[in-house]
């Protein structure tokens, strides 16, 4: 009999008022049922928001260094559970164990970074224009944060959002993706164990249309942090505008790796294999396009096709597996539709392209790593996010041509350039329209202490990670202390 799980509201695991559930299954073996999770309702969201609002009034008064101490303990607990959580994550979303271990480690890094920020929520002091008057700006928490996250990084992305929110003195309502509720449950379970007071963290499982929208439109939720598709992000922005919520959107990408004619081709090969087919291409920073200089195009493409065909599909828990499944049937159908689109547009299929049952035994959602050559900039496979193991290869005659082709999308998240020429590297850094640029490294591999986010339709300008995320989760308050003992009128009495 499958295990049933509950929401976590006000420090207790509670049944959903809807009485409905949804299944959580293993994408590498769809016959394996992991558990049943609540298909929650707007009423459950109301309960969670009430708990978070009540908890906020006390949590905001806890000194930030003391909140940091809780984050440090949470990091320690995650270290102890790292392998357990990583294996559970692979079971429910498919990526190989080395990657899920990295996913948990990013959560650990974020916890420890947040712990330090408890002593670094810096304000500013500035001189007043009037005598005997002190002027400063301080950070204050905002209130209740709604956190809505995707399935591809079910530990890292929620921690990017929740840990800074909580460290800043806010409380949270967390709605994880339906494909990865178990990792989210384990994370919240660990957060509760760390000593957070009741109501500071609440998790409500369910659909985006019901639970997600209820969080976004709730009048007592003060800010929303969302990672997911650009289409959904635009709708959230519209819905949240009715109550003038602060909204952070981290959305799609169509990232490209440029390989110049002077590049270390072996190094570039490792980068594109990792970038395109790590997490089965299911990363917002995945390498979806490869732009090759004309002089190395044929040689590098041959190297790439040869290595790609040797990649082994299978269950991510097995040491022999290089590439796991896509997350669900709908996602695999989407990938296959883009394969057909690429063919119809005239791109040359040089590797993969097929739905497979790995090793002929597993009943999961597997798709071969796929490469299209002879792709032109206006093809849909060169412009639209696929979110699967499909790589489009374009040709360039110069760095300027390559950068122009890289910039030719509505997205601007991550980018990569392989070259030995330092001048070309800095030109690329200057001219590429992206929130992240790697030199001689893959388009994936963001570190927890640097800003993460993109330009154009990749988001709405906010950044996660590092010190910049604290700008989103805090409000600035200007403070003036006049100790002159008389009325002093700025801009009037001093001029």
Nearest-angstrom CA–CA distance, 68 and 447: 20
Nearest-angstrom CA–CA distance, 245 and 213: 13
Contact 414, 420 (CB under 8 A): no
Q: Are strands 474-482 and 133-141 parallel, antiparallel or unpaired?
A: antiparallel
Which DSSP category does 217 fall into? H
Q: Burial of 57 by CB count in 10 Å (0-12 exposed, 13-18 middle, 19+ buried)?
A: exposed
Query: What is 7-251+459-478's CATH topology?
Result: Aldehyde Dehydrogenase; Chain A, domain 1 (3.40.605)
Which DSSP category does 311 fall into? P
Annotated catalytic sites, by residue? 250, 284
Domain extents in the chain: 7-251+459-478, 255-439
Nearest-angstrom CA–CA distance, 211 and 42: 6
What would the two tokens of residue 193 be? 């164990």
Map residue 314 onto helix, strand or coil: coil
DSSP string, 166-177: HHTT-EEEEE--
Map residue 355 onto helix, strand or coil: strand
User: Tell me, what's the pLDDT at 1?
Assistant: 57
CA 259 from chain center: how many Å?
Answer: 26
What would the two tokens of residue 480 be? 């003036």
Q: What angle do CA 163, 165, 167 make, to 5 degrees?
A: 65
User: Tell me, what's the pLDDT at 361?
Assistant: 54
- Look up tokens 């640029």; give the residue: 437
Report H helices in 309-354: 329-345
CA 182 from chain center: how many Å?
Answer: 17
Tens digit of pLDDT at every position of the chain (495 positions) = 579 999 999 999 999 999 999 999 999 999 999 999 999 999 999 999 999 999 999 999 999 999 999 999 999 999 999 999 999 999 999 999 999 999 999 999 999 999 999 999 999 999 999 999 999 999 999 999 999 999 999 999 999 999 999 999 999 999 999 999 999 999 999 999 999 999 999 999 999 999 999 999 999 999 999 999 999 999 999 999 999 999 999 999 999 999 999 999 999 999 999 999 999 999 999 999 999 999 999 999 999 999 999 999 999 999 999 999 999 999 999 999 999 999 999 999 999 999 997 555 558 999 999 999 999 999 999 999 999 999 999 999 999 999 999 999 999 999 999 999 999 999 999 999 999 999 999 999 999 999 999 999 999 999 999 999 999 999 999 999 999 999 999 999 988
User: Tell me, what's the pLDDT at 357?
Assistant: 72
| CATH number for the segment(s) 255-439 | 3.40.309.10
């Amino acid at each position: 009999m499958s295990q049933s799980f509950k929401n976590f509201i006000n420090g207790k695991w509670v049944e959903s008022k809807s009485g409905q559930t949804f299944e959580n299954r293993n994408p590498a073996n769809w016959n394996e049922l992991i558990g049943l999770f609540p298909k929650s309702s707007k009423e459950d969201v109301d309960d969670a928001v009430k708990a978070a609002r009540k908890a906020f009034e006390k949590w905001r008064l806890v000194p930030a260094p003391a909140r940091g101490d809780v984050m440090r303990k949470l990091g320690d607990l995650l270290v102890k559970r790292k392998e357990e959580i990583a294996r559970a994550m692979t079971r429910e979303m498919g990526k190989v164990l080395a990657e899920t271990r990295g996913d948990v480690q990013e959560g650990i890094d974020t916890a420890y970074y947040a712990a330090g920020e408890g002593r670094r929520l810096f304000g500013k002091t500035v001189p007043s224009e009037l005598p005997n008057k002190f002027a400063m700006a301080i950070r204050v928490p905002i209130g209740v944060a709604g956190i809505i996250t995707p399935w591809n990084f079910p530990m890292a992305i929620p921690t990017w959002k929740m840990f800074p929110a909580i460290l800043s003195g806010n409380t949270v309502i967390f709605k994880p993706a339906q494909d990865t509720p178990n990792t989210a449950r384990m994370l919240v379970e660990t957060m509760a164990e760390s000593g957070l007071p009741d109501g500071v963290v609440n998790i409500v499982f369910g659909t985006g249309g019901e639970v997600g929208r209820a969080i976004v439109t709730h009048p007592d939720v003060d800010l929303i942090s969302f990672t997911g598709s650009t289409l959904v992000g635009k709708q959230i922005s519209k819905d949240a505008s009715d109550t003038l919520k602060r909204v952070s959107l981290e959305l799609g990408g169509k990232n490209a790796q440029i390989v110049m004619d002077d590049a270390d081709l072996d190094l570039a090969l490792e980068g594109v294999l990792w970038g395109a087919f790590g997490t089965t291409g299911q990363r917002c920073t995945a390498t979806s396009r490869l732009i090759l200089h004309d002089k190395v195009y044929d040689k590098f493409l041959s190297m790439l096709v040869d290595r790609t065909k040797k990649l082994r599909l299978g269950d991510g828990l097995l040491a022999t597996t290089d590439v796991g499944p896509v997350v669900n049937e709908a996602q695999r159908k989407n990938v296959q539709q883009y394969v057909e689109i690429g063919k119809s547009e005239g791109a040359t299929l040089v590797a993969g392209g097929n739905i497979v049952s790995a090793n002929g035994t597993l009943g999961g959602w597997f798709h071969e790593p796929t490469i299209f050559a002879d792709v032109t900039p206006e093809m849909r496979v060169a412009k639209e996010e696929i979110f699967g193991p499909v790589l489009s290869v374009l040709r360039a005659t110069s760095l300027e041509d390559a950068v122009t082709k890289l910039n030719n999308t509505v997205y601007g998240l991550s980018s990569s350039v392989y070259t030995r020429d330092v001048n070309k590297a800095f030109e690329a850094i200057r001219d590429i329209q992206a929130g992240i640029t790697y030199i001689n490294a893959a388009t994936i591999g963001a570190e927890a202490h640097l800003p993460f986010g993109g330009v154009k339709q990749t988001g709405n300008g906010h950044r996660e990670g590092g010190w910049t995320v604290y700008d989103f989760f805090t409000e600035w308050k200007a403070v003036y202390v006049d100790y002159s003992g008389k009325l002093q009128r700025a801009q009037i009495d001093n001029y």
